[in-house]
Structures are given as structure tokens and as C-alpha cells.
Amino acid sequence: MTSVLIVDDQELVRLGLRVLLEETDGLTLAGEAPDGLAAVEEAARTRPDVVLMDIRMPGIDGLEATRRILAHPDLEHTRVIVLTTFELDEYVFEALRDGASGFLLKTAPPADLVEAIAIVAEGGALLAPTVTRTLIREFTRRAPRRANPHPRLGELTEREREVVALAAEGLNNQEIAERLVVSPATARTHVSRAMIKLGARDRAQLVVFAYQSGVA
């Protein structure tokens, strides 16, 4: 059973998400929070598997709440999905950089949200949707491309750097394997080792490191 914490300042949104969770097998409601500060407190109390996080809220916003939750020593296994109204939300890239596992539009079909929760609960990241790749590329294009290399970038092998660059293009393990003419298991191993070396929580943060370091 995957426990989910709902964070949104709009009661109607929380109600809709609550009903969805209650009607979906395998999901359970860990709790709800109407703002960022309450989200941090509720996450520490309930230790959810996944947090559905709104960004724009009173008090501390979803970005700061995400940082605090992911930095909490008791919440190392908790994953955050950012829920946003706009595809190119300037705050989403920052949330990914700070460790969020991906994002979804609030207008996404319920089935997409259920699938997203399952993906991040298993340690995956929401990088397959075209809109996510579009967002990362857009904000990379807007920002000055002064590389800020990760301090442990030098620990990557040449092949691992290749794999990280391909992951930043939005390729999954199967696609990376086909591009490099290796087995999917080998591609998955390279991705995992790169994540460990760079200290990336998941694939989403690995992609952000790639852009920041100038690998992508």
C-alpha cells in the first residue's frame, strides 16, 4: 500500500485528490495540508511514500516545503510530485533541482496521476512525458549556460557521462541501450552508478545535474 500526502491550499483540489486516492486500490491517504509549513509537519508525522505538492501557497511555498521534507532525516524514502497549473512554470525546474521526482499538470487525467504515484513510489521519475523535457530545455535555454560542474562529476567514467547525457535527452533505459548498443540491464547499471556517484535521489535530479554541469 502506497501512502500519499496531499498538499494544496485549495480545499476543492484536496477533496478531489482525496476521493481519487480513496477509490484507487493500492493507495491510501496519509494526510492533508493546506500550506507548506503544515506539509512539513504532516510529512514528519505520517512519513508518506509520496507527497503531491502544490507550489503557490501561503506561508512557506511548495519549493521550501519540498526542500525541508527531502532534507528531513526520517523522510529519505519520501518522494515529491509537484502539481502545477502551467506547463512552463518557472518554479518547477527549481523543484526538480531540489529533489522533486517530477511534476504533473493539475489538469492531468486521474489515471495519469495514479500512474505517476506508482512510478515515483518505486524510485522512478516523471521524465518520460514530452512536457517535462520541454520544460527542462526551455529553462535551460532561458538561463545563461555557465556550467556549474557537480563536485563529483570527475568520478564518472566516460560511458557513465554518455549515459547521463542521454538521460538528459529524456531517453529511458531501453532507448539508451539501443543508442549505445548495449543491453538494457547494462544501461540501467550505468544510470544507477551515475546516480550513486552524484548523489542524485532519482533520475529527475540526475538530469538536472547533467544540465547544470554542462554534460547535456
% residues pLDDT > 70 (the chain) = 87
pLDDT at position 84: 82
pLDDT at position 155: 93
pLDDT for 124 beyond 80 = no
Chain mean position to CA 189: 20
Which string of DSSP letters, residue by residue, matches 186-215?
A: HHHHHHHHHHHHHT-SSHHHHHHHHHHHT-
pLDDT for 26 beyond 80 = yes
137 compared with 148, residue with greater pLDDT: 148
Cα torsion at 175, 181, 184, 186 (round to 10°)?
A: -130
Which string of DSSP letters, residue by residue, matches 119-158?
A: HHHTT--S--SHHHHHHHHHHHHHS-------TTGGGS-H
pLDDT at position 48: 97
159 compared with 99, residue with greater pLDDT: 159
| CA 138-122-117 angle, 5° bins | 65
Q: pLDDT tens across 60-119, in order?
A: 999 999 999 999 999 988 999 988 876 655 677 778 777 888 888 888 889 989 988 998
What's the CATH class of domain 2-140?
alpha beta
Q: pLDDT tens across 89-101, in order?
A: 567 777 877 788 8
pLDDT at position 151: 85
pLDDT at position 129: 46
Residue ranges per domain, the chain?
2-140, 149-213
Q: What is the CATH number of domain 149-213?
A: 1.10.10.10
pLDDT for 128 beyond 50 = no
